[in-house]
Amino acid sequence: MGNIKFLMLVFSLIPIVANGCWEEERSALLELQANIVSSNVDLLVDWAGYNANGFIDCCFWKKVKCNLATGRVIKLDLETDFGTGDGWRFNASLLLPFKSLQVLLLSYGNIIGWTKNEGFSKLRQLPNLKEVDLQYNPIHPKVLLSSLCSISSLEVLKLGVDVDTSFSIPTTYNTSMSKKCGGLTNLRQLKFRGYGINDINILCALEKLSLYDNNFNSTIFSSLKIFPSLKRLNLAANEINGNIEMNDIIALSNLKYLDLWNNNIESFVTTKGSKRMSSLRYLLLEVLIPTRAESYNP
């Protein structure tokens, strides 16, 4: 009897996934494209055209990736053509049908804000979401981060745009900050370029941190001691000048890869009794310097 029930369940699912993707997700993709186009922004793929021409398996549509075993969408690339459009107001509810979504790429999405009550915080309803890329959108990082803070599943977050804002990292832990942005405790990789955000000192699990092309000076190293799990650090193209005190770098005891390219460093200063930085494998100044014979893939 149990086997019969199981077979009935399997056969009941066949009409839903017979064409690859789930019908509800195919419909959601078409609705998502219509929403983006209504903002006078062009999505760099025509899902509606595929559908109209009878190509209805959305798992094989461009910029969509599915788990072929389940037919569920696991990755979406929503890069748009900026063109002359007014900008896209994000609507998180349009993404909620993608219950297995793991990677959401929104770089160059021309996102200028979101519909009321439809910000990124609503994406916490997607329990498998691990990576969000919001680079090069005309919206301030502080606004983005405050909306992303409650997505506890996030492991990779990418932000970045060329705007003139400041960046500061508090050097002491503040519990009020944890309450304000406590959902990113699983974040392993944070990347942003050309601008700054505040209150990242709660992200103690970070393993990869890219601060490329900001305005940091040599004091950044003392601030980074709050990230004991760091393995890869990119500080290229900042304003790190002169003599660098090694003790603050040595405090990053798990650091394996350090990129200091395009700064103006004169020397590294150690004090008597300083510990060796035994974890570091590669140091990038103007050329890549392997500090050990062991290979390391950054």
CATH architecture for segment(s) 17-139: Alpha-Beta Horseshoe (3.80)
Confidence of residue 293 (pLDDT cuts 50, 70, 90): very low
For residues 128 and 26, give the distance between their C-alpha atoms in angstroms, rounded to a whole number: 19
Write the CB contacts of 106 (distance below 8 Å, at least 6 apart in sequence): 78, 79, 90, 132, 133, 134, 137
pLDDT on residue 287: 53
* pLDDT confidence of residue 3: 59
- Flag whether the pTM goes above 0.85: no
Q: 29: which residues sit within 8 A by CB, 6+ positions away? A: 47, 58, 61, 64, 73
Retrieve residue 284's tokens.
Answer: 């990038």
Confidence at residue 269, expressed as pLDDT on a 0 to 100 scale: 87
- Dump pLDDT digits (tens) for 77-136: 998 765 556 788 999 999 999 999 999 999 888 888 899 999 999 999 999 999 999 988
C-alpha–C-alpha distance, residues 288 and 257, integer Å: 10
Of the candidates 223, 215, 292, the residue with the CA atom closest to the CA atom of residue 257: 292
Task: Tokens 């390391």: give the residue.
Answer: 296
Tell the CATH topology of 185-298: 3.80.10
Domains 17-139 and 185-298 in one fold? yes
C-beta separation of 188 from 206 below 8 A:
yes
Q: Give 44-83 pLDDT, tens digit per residue.
A: 789 999 999 999 999 999 999 999 999 999 999 998 765 5
The encoded tokens of residue 181 equal 């942005």
For the stretch 163-190, pLDDT in tens is 444 334 433 333 344 445 567 778 888 8
Question: Can you say how many angstroms the Cα of residue 246 is from the centroid of all Cα atoms in its chain?
Answer: 30
Q: Residue ranges per domain, the chain? A: 17-139, 185-298
